[in-house]
Amino acid sequence: MALKLRKAIVRNTGINALLCLVVSAGLGMLTGMQASGASGFGWLLVLAAGIGLFSGWRTSVNIKKGVLQAIPQALSYVRLRRDTRLNGNAIDWQTLDDYAAQLESRGFTRVGDFTVHPLSPHVVGVAACFNDQDATMLVEVQHIQVQGDFPGVSPIPGGVRFSIGSLVDGAFRVTTTDHTVAASNYLLRGEYDVVASYPGMGLLPLLDKHARLLATIRERTGKSASPGLTMTRYVQQVRESMDEARGRLEKMSGFAIAHLVDAFEAAPKSQWAPPTAQLAALPSRSIDSLDERVAAAGQALIIDAPQEDAGTEEPFAGADGMANERAGESIDEGAGAAASGMSAPRHDPEAAALRQRAESGANWFYWIAGLSLVNAVAGAMGSNWAFAIGLGISELAAGAASELRADAGSSFLFIAALYGIAFAAAGFFAACGWFARRPSIVAFVAGMAVFALDSAIFLIAMDWIGVAFHLLALAFLWNGFSAARRLKS
C-alpha cells in the first residue's frame, strides 16, 4: 500500500488548521473574547493558518528524522557457530547447507555464517556467505524467519533470499538480489551503487545474471570486478554506501524525501545505476585501501557471537581483535533490513511511548507561545480580547503599551520595552518547547516554573477561567516532564 507521504503532510496541515480555528473560536467564546467583525475573525484565521503550517512543517521534519534514524552509524555482522542460538531459537542449518552444496559445486568457498548486529526480537536472519575463486563475488544465502504476528513484517515464502555483491575497480558496488525492492532500499542506496533485483529467481540463475551484469559494466566502462573481496571489506563498503546515503538525505527537506518515496511507490524500480559515463569517470581505488578504513572503523565490522545465544546483551569481541564497546547499542528499526536484507533491529516500545508523551507535553509550550503571541499582537493593534491560555505578562505588557501610545507624553523607549517584554515572553516559551522535545529536563522545569508564576496574574485578577486553563496546561506539561525524566533515567 502506497504511503502517500506528501498527501499526509498536506492533510495534517489542513486538519490542524481547521481544528485550531474551531478550538480558538470556542475558547474565545468561553473566555469572553470580544471579536468584533472581520478584524477578530481575521486574527483567528491567521492563528489557524500558522498552526496548520507549523504542523505540516513538523510532519515533514519527522519524516526526515525517521529516515535518517533508520541509517545505522555502524552496521556490523555477527559470526555464528553451529551451537549458536538466535533469541533462544535453533538455526535451520540444513537449509543453508543445501544451498552451500550447490555453490561449492561451482567452485565457491564458504567464508562463514553471519547475522546482523543488533538482533531483532521479531525477525531472525542468518546469512551463509560464500566467495568465488577470485573473491570477486560475495554471495549471501539469507535464511529469514519472522517470529509471531508482528505488524509491518510479512513472512517470506520459503524463508530464503539471495544477495550477490561485487566491488568494481574498488570504486562502486554492484548488487544482484531476488529481494522485492522497497522505497527504503532506494532511499538508502549509495551514490554510485548499481542494483538489479529479480524477485523469485533461483540462486543459480541469479549468479548468471550477476556475471552478465559485471560483463556489461566491464564492456561499457572498462572497469572490472576487484578480486580479494573479504567479509570485512564487504561490510566496510556497506557502511560507506550508508554514509553516502546519509549525507545526501541530510541535504534534503522532509517534503523532498516524501516526494522521492511517493514517486518510487507510484513507479517502483527493480534496477538502478548512475549514468555509464559517470561510472567510467570514477577514479580507480585499490581494494587493499579499504583495509585502512577497516582498521579505523571503531566498532568492529565482524563480531564473534557469544557461546550460547547471539541474542544476549553482553558485549561481543570483534573478530579483528577490537573490543566492541557499543555492542548493546540499538539501531533503529528497519536499518539492518535496508542494509543487508536480513533482519530489522531491536525496538523498545516503552522508550517510544515515553518519548511520545514527552513530546506531547512539550508541544504545550508551543501552544502557550503561539496564543501569547496572538494576544500580544492583538493588544498592540488595540484589540480588547485575549486567549486565557496565553501568558498574562504578555497580555499586561501589550495592553499597557497600547494605553501609553494614546498619551503623547509617553516615552517611546518605554513603550518599545513593554512590547519587547510581551514578545520575548512568547519567544521564551517557544524556546522551551524546542528544547523540551529533545527532551531537556531543564527546559521543562524552567518553562513550568515561569508559567506557574504567570498564573498568579490571573489569580490576582480573579480570572478563574484563566486560572483553570493555566492549571490544565500545567497538568499536561507535568505529564510530559515526568515522561522525559523517566526517558532520561
pLDDT for 285-334, tens place per residue?
888 887 776 655 567 788 876 654 544 443 333 333 333 333 333 223 33
In this prediction, residue 406 carries a pLDDT of 57
**Domain of 447?**
5-67+352-488
Looking at residue 36, its pLDDT comes to 46
- Asked if 299 and 445 sit in the same domain, the reply is no
Cβ neighbours of 196 (radius 10 Å): 19
Q: Which sign, positive or negative, has the C-alpha torsion 221, 227, 230, 233?
A: negative
Residues 50, 57: Cα–Cα separation, whole Å:
11
If asked whether residues 120 and 248 sit together in one domain, one would say: yes
User: Side chain identity at 161, as an amino acid letter?
Assistant: R
The alpha carbon of residue 357 and the mean position of all alpha carbons in its chain are separated, in whole angstroms, by: 18
Domain finish residue from 281, 312, 347: 347
Is residue 94 domain-shared with residue 134, that is, in the same domain?
A: yes
Residue type at 426? A
**Of the candidates 314, 347, 380, which is a domain's last residue?**
347
Q: Do 42 and 79 belong together in one domain?
A: no
Q: Write down the pLDDT at residue 68.
A: 84
**Grid cell of 46 as nine digits:** 491567521
Q: With contact defined as beta carbons under 8 Å apart, do 320 and 302 qualify?
A: yes
Tell me the C-alpha distance between 359 and 4, whole Å.
25
The whole-number pLDDT of residue 145 equals 73
Q: Are residues 183 and 225 in the same domain?
A: yes
Looking at residue 420, its pLDDT comes to: 77
Produce one character per residue of 429-438: b if its CB has 16 or more CB atoms within 10 Å, e if not. Answer: bbebbebbbe
Say if residue 168 is in the same domain as residue 127.
Answer: yes
Q: Is residue 424 located within the same domain as residue 372?
A: yes
Pairing of strands 109-117, 89-90: unpaired
215 shares its domain with 356:
no
Q: Do 358 and 335 share a domain, yes or no?
A: no
Low-confidence ranges of the chain (pLDDT < 70): 1-3, 16, 19-44, 47, 118-123, 146-158, 293-298, 305-352, 378-389, 398-399, 401-412, 414-415
298 in the same domain as 173: yes
Kindly state whether residues 264 and 413 are assigned to the same domain: no
Which of 347, 380, 402 is at the close of a domain? Answer: 347
* Strand partners for 128: 113, 141
Cell numbers describing residue 206: 541469479
pLDDT of residue 334: 35
CA angle in degrees (0–180, nearest 5) for 98-100-102 = 80
Q: What pLDDT, on a 0 to 100 scale, did the predictor assign at position 203?
A: 93
Question: CB of 131 within 8 A of CB of 138?
Answer: yes
Using left for φ > 0, alpha for ψ between -120 and 50, and beta otherwise, residue 228 falls in: left
Cα 405–Cα 402–Cα 378 angle in degrees, nearest 5: 140
Q: 149: alpha, beta or left, given left = phi > 0 and alpha = psi -120 to 50?
A: beta
What is residue 184's predicted lDDT score, i.e. its pLDDT?
83
Check: CB of residue 66 under 8 Å from CB of residue 330.
Answer: no
pLDDT reported for residue 185: 85
The tally of domains found in the chain comes to 2
**Whether residues 362 and 328 fall in one domain:** no
3-state SS string for the chain: CCCCHHHHHHHHHHHHHHHHHHHHHHHHHHCCCCCCHHHHHHHHHHHHHHHHHHHHHHHHHHHHHHHHHCCCCCCEEEECCCCCEECCEECCHHHHHHHHHHHHCCCCEEEEEEEEECCCCCEEEEEEEEECCCCCCEEEEEEEEECCCCCCCCCCHHHEEEEEEEEECCCEEEEEECCCCCHHHHHCCCCCCEEEECCCCCHHHHHHHHHHHHHHHHHHHCCCECCCCCHHHHHHHHHHHHHHHHHHHHCCCHHHHHHHHHHHHHCCCCEECCCHHHHHHCCCCCHHHHHHHHHCCCCCCEEECCCCECCCCCCCEECCCCECCCCCCCCCCCHHHHHHCCCCCCCCHHHHHHHHHHHHHHHHHHHHHHHHHHHHHHHHCCCCCCCCCCCHHHHHHHHHHHHHHCCCCCCHHHHHHHHHHHHHHHHHHHHHHHHHCCCCHHHHHHHHHHHHHHHHHHHHCCCHHHHHHHHHHHHHHHHHHHHHHHHHC
